Structure 1
Amino acid sequence: MALTRRGILIGVLAGSGLALGYVVRPRRFPLPLQPAPGEFAFDAWIKIGKDGVVSVAVPQVEMGQGVTTLIPQVVAHELGADWRQVAVETVPVSPIYANLALAARWAPLWMPLAPSLAENPHGMLARRWAEDRAFNATADGMSIAAYEAPARAAAASARAMLMKAAAARWGVDWQDCEARDGFVVHKGAPQTRHLPFGALAEEAAAHAPPSTPPLRADAMAEKQERNSAGAPPRYPRLDQLSKVDGSWTFAGDVRLPGMLHAAIRHAPLGADASLFAMREDAAKGTKGFVRVVKGEGWVAAVAQDWWTAETALARMAPRFKVTGPIDSNAVDAALDEAMRTGKAHRIYAAGDMALIEGGLPLQLRYEVSPAVHATIETASATARLEHGRLELWIGTQAPEATRESAARAVGLSIADVVLYPMPLGGSFDRRLEFAHAAQVAILAKELGQPVQLTWSRGEEMRAGLPRTPVVAVMAARPDAEGGVAGWRARIAAPPAALQFGRRLFGQDSPEQAVAAVAGKADPLALEGAVPPYAIPAVAVDHVPARIALPVGRLRGNAHSYTAFFNESFIDELAHKAGREPLSYRIAMLGKDPRLVECLQRAAGLGQWGGGGDNSGQGIACHVIGEGRIAVVASARRDENGVRVDRLSAVSDIGRIINLDIARQQVEGGLVFGLGLVLGCSMRYEEGRPLTERLGELALPVLADCPTIEVDFVPSDADPADPGELGVAAVAPAVANALYSATGVRFRRLPLFDEEI
């Protein structure tokens, strides 16, 4: 039978669970943002009350990145609202809020047979898949890319409807009116007239929205020159005060009538885990203790309060039997074997491959250890199962997958699960995993009462999946002037992104996901490995290492190690050629003037002196999507170990919606990345982590944090997310600074693994 493009497409759709006719059927979805008495809905994004309060829907989880301010700020600007009257409302999972940008980006994970068919976020295939899955996930800094346009269009339409309502009262053309500061204004003889939004809301809601939203000429943008030093921000964060006074409610703050509390113990990481022994009698007589619940690979104690439940578990001392428990020495050996003999998959090639074949003049090995998230808030969730309906209070980055996991655990339809989205106290992609949702659902079913499950810090470490370990051999062929003629990266790592995709979209267990994707190439696990420089020949090879350790996502993801490989290696090439590291980089960046400007500005901000003469200065740059950053680090080694004194960063993230939040995100990324430089690593023996406390992770405390300077390049380009840029660039900048200070190259993360 002859193959046709149409036949292949139909096969791909069928293989991805998509039916023929899928892209043409009409869609109608109920309004998820229901107005209260005295409120009126404008599209699915905005409600305006008679009191003038403008409530804005935010379908993404707030985890410190400021999304509950950024989307309302876009709406306020486009609508002409007074920021003091803007409120935020987190909304339930709905196809209306499908994250099309992230769905297209993650097409290789949900449509692995032909991801290129769904890589366009404006294409029908990505839209239909995301709507069918109610895909509202928060990740990869895609919130503005996904939601600025629809929120802005809704605000423009609502503004037109408000102006039409005011114009009808005044008997004027609505296009002669304008909306600003929460009022509709008409300037005409004999006087200027104005009406507040609240007085017009009911009449405005009765008007039909315009067929084409009348967008303002300029999208929301804050310029640095408008924000003088010490001046209060024009758009302060909407969550700021509640976080300061403690009224912001997280998952662990939920309280329900008759609620019980649960603590948990997980089996060690490995295959076929089961409970082996437990002294249940040891918990009898513990005041407030209720009972034990056993699950697959875990056991929980339930009591009137969490501390009693945790105490009861400690007394019962559960022990588990595991086949092939994870051991870090075995993981290291598997990575070494993959690097030496594993089959490489070329995921990127450009230029004359003859220049990078065989043994190249310079070949250097770099290593990255597994790293943990170190979230302040451990996993917590509350469940109530009554009359065949499960209610779930949980902070999650993947709400629909979380609902599905909980439903499967207790044998319900996903339609019978109601998820109340809670904010997160920092996630760093940890809450893209949702095992605790299934656990708390089982507990609620077993107990017949509302139950709140909270993992201890030790259990967060034991059951959390670390960032993948990686080994890279970077090779280069210099040209006659000391530049780079050929560049080859051979990177051994498990297919970490594909593992994650199996857990998220296939509801696989961690062990099932490891087995399902073993040996497969994974370009998403090597994002950022292609250097930004103009090099005649470049090749990037992935060796999918077969390690037993299940791995997950972490802030910065692949960029947190590919930037370390690239920028450490380029620095070594510069010094080997006897060239100054800044000018060496700039000479190869003729096609990226935006990154050149970041480097030049960072050099000025950090008082770059060339990185020589034991100055303790290092420089690095990186690109993530359309975002760019350059960092100058000043570091030294003293009797107390490594000390980073100063970080100077300049970033180009396009049009900046909120300058204060952008600066917070870059600063936070730099400090988070510094944690990966100095600590956060994890070793395993017999399936258990050797570190179970935050204090043992060598995290930088406030006294360790350097002076941080952050500046931005003015730009009118589309907004890029600033949250992960600092994470990626700080490690090589510090490593290069330490070389300048000590003359010793550090090629392993975290740096203390080098026995400084």
Structure 2
Amino acid sequence: MQISRRGLLAGAAVGGGLLVAWGLWPRDYGVPLTPGRGEWAFGAWLKLARDGVLTVAVPQLEMGQGITTLIPQIVAAEMGADWRQVAVEPAPVSGAYSNLPLAAKWAPLWLPLAPGVADEPGDLVTRRWAGENGFMATADGTSLGAYERPAREAAAAARAMLCMAAAERWGVNYEECEAQGGLVLHGGRQLSFAALAEEAARFDAPDPPPLKPAPYSERPIAVGASQDLAYPRLDLPAKVDGGFQFAGDVRLPGMLYAAIRHGPVGDAVLSGYGSKAGARTLGLRQVVKSRRWIAAVADTWWAAEQALTALRPRWRTENRADSGIIDQRLDEALTKGEASRIATRGEGDRDLGEPTVTYRYEIAPATHATLETASATARVADGRLELWLASQAPAAAKAAAAKAVGLSAADVVLYPMSAGGSFDRRLEHDHAIEAAVIAAEVGAPVQLVWSRWQEMVAGRPRSPLACLASAWTAREDGTPGALRMRVAMPATTREFGERLFGNKTAFAALDAAEDPDPLAFEGALSPYAIPAVAIDHVPVDIGLPTGRMRGNAAGYLAFIVESFIDELAARVGREPLSFRMALLGGDPRLAECLQRAARLAQWDGGARQSGNGLACWRIGNPATGEAVARIACVATARAGEGGVRVSKLSAAVDLGRVVNQDIARQQIEGGLVFGTSLATGSAISFADGLPTESSLGALALPRLADCPDISVEIIAGDGEPADPGEIGAVIAAPAIANALHSATGLRLRRLPLLSEGI
């Protein structure tokens, strides 16, 4: 919903609400960057130094996806900078870096009573809320959509200012100058950015900035070909030599280390512990306890962990999470619960009678399995809290930690650190609150690191669900004329929103998230040309807090829809590829992905016992102009000793305009491996409030020897660049499931596959 400044003022004046209008008026958040000696800031995005180093602010969490290369690359390409002289600085929390597309997308979470006034990135309410709250969250593949344009504008303005400085020296018009390779050029003359930095900073930036005619893009190369990288990753050398700093690498003078134990999953309260036994642990400094957790602080993390073992904390817990109870509640909700219609196409299932076919699909809770567990360092001194933290939502983490120790957010300094993997796990900030509370009580800097066991106990797994997929099909060829999905699952996105924006505890958020959850079904209206579609949600309280995970709604919807489409084809003996192609008349680009993936994999028609299966999906809505990622994948898999054996994945991907082909390929390949892990493992189960899996080794994750041969063809496209990080993760599971059906003749309708045997 668009609201103009003039319209807002006029409406406010009529109603006597000028104060409201003033409160919504967009604000200038200044220049958050602090230049060092011999360095000058050019707006909020970049600094240029006398030695020629160009430092670019990155307002997104680097968690392996390469964002600390992508945003600087956009700046360097637009500005004409020398890539060898580009550096990166994590941006401080500031309204100058608002993620407006994500703020609009999540409006139902932070503005639940009137999301319609903030459902577009350009809406005045969206801009004001995101700015005032420093909303810089890294999620849902919105980084390029949010930051490519402002980064380009900042670079274009700086380029113009450098040209102005050079033109003044040469006595020419600055529009006649050009910038290339870190130099300003005119005729046979040249001056370096370094030589011009101080003078250029004195000029006013042109408004609007003189953008280049087209944003930077790279044309994808053929599968198996190689080429020199125009913009190699900036973080790669430090990651190779071990010098890259993650959240757990922070070291401060006088720092102590904390380990923690959380109560079982349920309404847990600490009821006691053996203080005398713990006190005998060498190096123990202090025990800090809260209602739902207890921490030991010691000279080393191992000493703190050993002290907690000796303390043997005891818990009084009601409503303990249990996998048997979870499955029972999902089953009852699916078969008997009251459903709400979330999405409809055409007439939905109106007056259709009984469906031709109905199948049931299930998905177990899945854990993120990040390499780096939750880690945070805190120091409280002189009325100020300092936090060293890897966070996908730094403003929310900062505010929550401040409140926990009785400070205002203005009294908190958050130093953004990189994450050793996240997959949306670092959207949560429990560990930031705990570290702040522990440091405040101890009176010294404290680094809190969760053990792998605690990551399992206190994590926020992907929500489990049960679904009945029904179709009304044509008798002659099995083509679906109508599709209905009835899904029983927690209102997981609303629950997450209560934690992130309402600062509620996990179980308080469960109580607040009782309504149907449309955000948990993004993309449910599939690209297939099925005239009538109906999506129903049955919210269910399973007694287990759940959260977001890489791929989110597409991760489970793709498995359900693509498995179901394959089953519809098999019922009438139709070949899976041609069956899909006949339904994709409304999305020719996705149809092209299917054809290319089939050629890449030498598709054999998915013949019985071939072990080949395919699937396709898209993320994004082309009807709204949103950037769309499309993928088709052919998997080769078999049931082997010890589980599923995936030998090959062949994918064709359309991302629109590709900004960095190398990073895009890395993300797609990594996503396919991550999706494979969700297909074959990653599940977490509970008994008496505790996970039955305690280590990474218990999650049946693919090891290096288990990783399939992967071939990826990136299709040259135009339009806005789509995010490559999610699309590979969502397609692997359905492609593998369909491949196993081809190999075994059995249909596996539960993730992870083979979790119930064959």
TM-score, structure 1 length as denominator? 0.96
Rounded Cα–Cα distance in structure 1 between residues aligned with 2:632 and 2:71: 27
SS at match of 2:618: strand
Match of 1:743 in 2: 745
**Is the 1:355–1:485 contact (alpha carbons within 8 Å) kept by the matching residues of 2?**
no
Match of 2:318 in 1: 323
**Is the 1:356–1:487 contact (alpha carbons within 8 Å) kept by the matching residues of 2?**
no
Match of 1:616 in 2: 611
Return structure 1 stretches of 4+ with deviation > 6 angstroms: none
* TM superposition shift of 1:586: 0.8
Change (3 A) 1:704 1:391: same
**Is the 1:528–1:563 contact (alpha carbons within 8 Å) kept by the matching residues of 2?**
no
SS at match of 1:753: coil
Cα RMSD for the two superposed structures: 1.7
**Is the 2:28–2:96 contact (alpha carbons within 8 Å) kept by the matching residues of 1?**
no
* TM superposition shift of 1:141: 0.9
Q: Deviations over 1:288-343 (max 9, x none)?
A: 11121111200001100000000111111111111211111111111111111111
* TM superposition shift of 1:354: 5.2
Match of 1:201 in 2: 197
Q: Does 1:296 align with 2:291?
A: yes
Rounded Cα–Cα distance in structure 1 between residues aligned with 2:745 and 2:22: 61
Match of 1:412 in 2: 407
Change (3 A) 1:321 1:120: same
Amino acid at match of 1:172: V
Rounded Cα–Cα distance in structure 2 between residues aligned with 1:586 and 1:674: 25
Q: Alignment partner for residue 651 of structure 1, among 638, 650, 653?
A: 653
Q: Does 1:255 align with 2:251?
A: yes
Q: Does 1:511 align with 2:507?
A: yes
Match of 2:460 in 1: 465
Unaligned segments of structure 1, at least 5 residues:
none
SS at match of 1:221: coil
Rounded Cα–Cα distance in structure 2 between residues aligned with 1:660 and 1:212: 32
Q: Does 1:702 align with 2:697?
A: no
SS at match of 2:155: helix
Q: Deviations over 1:597-639 (max 9, x none)?
A: 1101100111111001321100000111111100000111233
**Is the 1:669–1:726 contact (alpha carbons within 8 Å) kept by the matching residues of 2?**
yes
**Is the 1:356–1:538 contact (alpha carbons within 8 Å) kept by the matching residues of 2?**
no
**Is the 2:748–2:754 contact (alpha carbons within 8 Å) kept by the matching residues of 1?**
no
Rounded Cα–Cα distance in structure 2 between residues aligned with 1:567 and 1:477: 16
Q: Deviations over 1:674-701 (max 9, x none)?
A: 1110111111111111111000000000
Q: Alignment partner for residue 572 of structure 2, among 572, 577, 585?
A: 577
Amino acid at match of 1:89: E
* TM superposition shift of 1:752: 2.3
SS at match of 1:21: helix
Amino acid at match of 1:84: R
Rounded Cα–Cα distance in structure 2 between residues aligned with 1:170 and 1:228: 49
Q: Deviations over 1:540-574 (max 9, x none)?
A: 11111222111111111111110000000000001
Match of 2:487 in 1: 491
Amino acid at match of 2:91: V
Change (3 A) 1:533 1:86: same
Q: Which is further off, 525-534 or 726-735?
A: 525-534
**Is the 1:274–1:296 contact (alpha carbons within 8 Å) kept by the matching residues of 2?**
yes
User: How many pairs are equivalent?
Assistant: 738
* TM superposition shift of 1:587: 0.6
* TM superposition shift of 1:53: 0.9
Rounded Cα–Cα distance in structure 1 between residues aligned with 2:472 and 2:19: 50
Rounded Cα–Cα distance in structure 2 between residues aligned with 1:422 and 1:254: 9
Change (3 A) 1:19 1:408: farther
Q: Which is further off, 353-362 or 101-110?
A: 353-362
Rounded Cα–Cα distance in structure 1 between residues aligned with 2:557 and 2:605: 24
Match of 1:129 in 2: 129
TM-score, structure 2 length as denominator? 0.95
Match of 1:229 in 2: 225
Change (3 A) 1:646 1:464: same
Rounded Cα–Cα distance in structure 2 between residues aligned with 1:24 and 1:111: 14
Rounded Cα–Cα distance in structure 2 between residues aligned with 1:641 and 1:469: 21
**Is the 2:366–2:683 contact (alpha carbons within 8 Å) kept by the matching residues of 1?**
yes
Change (3 A) 1:360 1:311: same
Q: Alignment partner for residue 427 of structure 1, among 422, 436, 442?
A: 422
Q: Deviations over 1:637-668 (max 9, x none)?
A: 23343211100011111111110100010011
**Is the 2:27–2:128 contact (alpha carbons within 8 Å) kept by the matching residues of 1?**
no
Rounded Cα–Cα distance in structure 2 between residues aligned with 1:465 and 1:337: 23
Rounded Cα–Cα distance in structure 1 between residues aligned with 2:104 and 2:372: 30
* TM superposition shift of 1:467: 0.5
Rounded Cα–Cα distance in structure 1 between residues aligned with 2:64 and 2:685: 29
Rounded Cα–Cα distance in structure 2 between residues aligned with 1:26 and 1:579: 57
Rounded Cα–Cα distance in structure 2 between residues aligned with 1:228 and 1:603: 17
Match of 2:144 in 1: 144
Q: Does 1:639 align with 2:635?
A: no
Match of 1:587 in 2: 582
Rounded Cα–Cα distance in structure 1 between residues aligned with 2:28 and 2:702: 50
Matches within 5 A, 1:66-215: 66-187=66-187, 192-215=188-211
Rounded Cα–Cα distance in structure 2 between residues aligned with 1:742 and 1:585: 22
Match of 2:3 in 1: none
Rounded Cα–Cα distance in structure 1 between residues aligned with 2:721 and 2:235: 22
SS at match of 2:433: helix
* TM superposition shift of 1:746: 0.5
Q: Which is further off, 306-315 or 351-360?
A: 351-360
**Is the 1:108–1:115 contact (alpha carbons within 8 Å) kept by the matching residues of 2?**
yes
**Is the 2:26–2:127 contact (alpha carbons within 8 Å) kept by the matching residues of 1?**
no
Change (3 A) 1:513 1:19: farther
Change (3 A) 1:435 1:52: same
Q: Deviations over 1:693-742 (max 9, x none)?
A: 00000000000000001111110110110111111111110000000011
Rounded Cα–Cα distance in structure 2 between residues aligned with 1:506 and 1:714: 42
SS at match of 1:224: coil
Rounded Cα–Cα distance in structure 2 between residues aligned with 1:24 and 1:516: 28
SS at match of 2:469: strand
Change (3 A) 1:226 1:152: farther
